[in-house]
Amino acid sequence: MSSFKSLFTHSLGVTALCSVMAFSHAAPAQETLYAYGPGGPAPAMKEAAAAFEKTAGVKVEVTAGPTPKWLDKAKTDADLVFSGSETMMTDFVYALDGQLSHQQVTPLYLRPLAMLVRPGNPKHIKGVKDLFKPGLKVLVVNGAGQNGVWEDMAGRKGDIKTVAALRNNIVGYAKNSAEAKQTWTDNQDIDVWLIWNIWQVANPQLADVVPIERDYAIYRDAGIAITTRAENKPAAKAFVSFLQSPAGAKIFAKWGWKTGQN
């Protein structure tokens, strides 16, 4: 089985590399692709875009952040749209007014929900059960691909008491990750921020990370889709192939994404 997996991974890498190399010889000078999506995957996506430009000679201009800031522009020129969860991508399909198709979505990599704590972990948070203790102040994100994710975690074992205990400790429900980051910065009395682990990787000075135990773990993915505007652009397909290749996986792993099985 391991040899098959190795062969499959090697084949994917060779296929992606050949696709990029073949495209690089045919690419028109100064071609630019426009990609839009949320802030979470942005650090990895931007680094991948820069690596792809060096390899294929095509610039991928990545615009990231809360959806309202880029949606109107994306409707006019988006070649690619990336997401922070499957539910988010479904919302994008509807929001882009027919420019995206459910069948064109490519899931890429997963990342886990994590507990971000103040530097040095002054409240000595060790696991999810600590979140249920009275008096702890917890910040969650309820939107932008994280709708209900705290509930998914707290209810993993089928105990309504843990859901109720966590709800009693939540002091902030941010609409998106950027808003949560600002709330965390402005309110130093908040003890724990429930969000994807990648936010700590990108902002190590703001928090330390405490992993969530396996039996409470929640994962959601980043995906990418080519718009109808770009479905006949070889460069768009080559970029998606690059993201899936070993080179793309290495970049995403650097930023905290899971690029293999548990």
Q: pTM (2 decimals)?
A: 0.84
Give the amino acid at 42: A
CA angle 166–202–85, rounded 5-degree value: 60
Residue 126: predicted pLDDT: 96
Per residue in 126-157, pLDDT (tens digit) is: 999 999 999 999 999 998 889 999 999 999 99
Task: Calculate the average pLDDT of the chain.
Answer: 90
φ, ψ at 116 (rounded to 5°): -95, 130
Residues in Cβ contact with 234 at an 8 Å cutoff, skipping those fewer than 6 apart: 23, 26, 27
